[in-house]
Amino acid sequence: KEKLKERLAKLSGGVAVIHVGAPSEVEMKEKKARVEDALHATRAAVEEGILPGGGVALLRSSTKVSGKKLNHDEKVGYEIILRACRAPLTQIANNAGLDGSVICEKVAEQEGNIGYNAATEKYEDMVKAGVIDPVKVTRTALQNAASVATLLLTSDALIAEAPKSGKGSGGHDDDLY
């Protein structure tokens, strides 16, 4: 039955076979996981469309909302969401060895799809550069983050693991600064 479905899909043009090879089993599994991630991202993009990547879409959306008519509690939530929308771009810049807050401010001054491409170290149109995110992935991440935040804020008590002191991963102290 599975073979028949596969043949039918091939005949209707809906199937591609991707052969993944690598020198070792570990590398092959990593490559296979990357291909699967790309497949899922492509399906999500086909389903709901694409946005400029690199944190640009969230940053732009955060500048389009107003928190003027909110009470105190709502304003606190609003500020948290604004900071969360800046976090992806800030982290990308930090990972590139730059000051994330400065890069974020420079991108905020731009318009449209212009963002910071850490791979090319340039400010450019992210869509034209091929740096894109599926709408579905971005939307779902924001919804899930809001859901978890709501759960945490409405809980009477939280239990967390105490931070471990001493050597972190790679033999370094946990606090690198």
pLDDT at 117: 96
Find all residues with CB under 8 Å of 118, minimum gap 6, and list them.
54, 92, 93, 95, 96
pLDDT at 128: 96
Asked if 18 and 75 sit in the same domain, the reply is no
DSSP the chain: -HHHHHHHHHHTT---------SSHHHHHHHHHHHHHHHHHHHHHHHH-EEETTTHHHHHHHHS---TT--HHHHHHHHHHHHHHHHHHHHHHHHTTS-HHHHHHHHHHS-TTEEEETTTTEEEETTTTT-EEEHHHHHHHHHHHHHHHHHHHH-S----PPPPPSB-GGG-BS---
Asked if 54 and 11 sit in the same domain, the reply is no
Asked if 59 and 38 sit in the same domain, the reply is no
Q: Structural domain tally of the chain?
A: 2
| Beta pairing partners, 50 | 134
Asked if 111 and 57 sit in the same domain, the reply is yes
Per-residue pLDDT of the chain (177 residues; tens, 9 = 90+): 778 877 777 777 666 778 888 999 999 999 999 999 998 998 899 899 999 999 999 999 998 888 888 998 888 888 888 999 999 999 999 999 999 999 999 999 999 999 999 999 999 999 999 999 999 999 999 899 889 988 888 888 989 898 887 655 555 555 544
CATH code, domain carrying 118:
1.10.560.10
pTM score, two decimals? 0.72
In a domain, 80, yes or no: yes
Q: Which domain holds residue 142?
A: 50-151
Asked if 27 and 112 sit in the same domain, the reply is no
pLDDT at 177: 43
Asked if 25 and 64 sit in the same domain, the reply is no
d(CA 171, CA 167): 5
Asked if 36 and 68 sit in the same domain, the reply is no
Asked if 65 and 139 sit in the same domain, the reply is yes
In a domain, 112, yes or no: yes
pLDDT at 15: 66
Asked if 61 and 122 sit in the same domain, the reply is yes
Asked if 77 and 126 sit in the same domain, the reply is yes
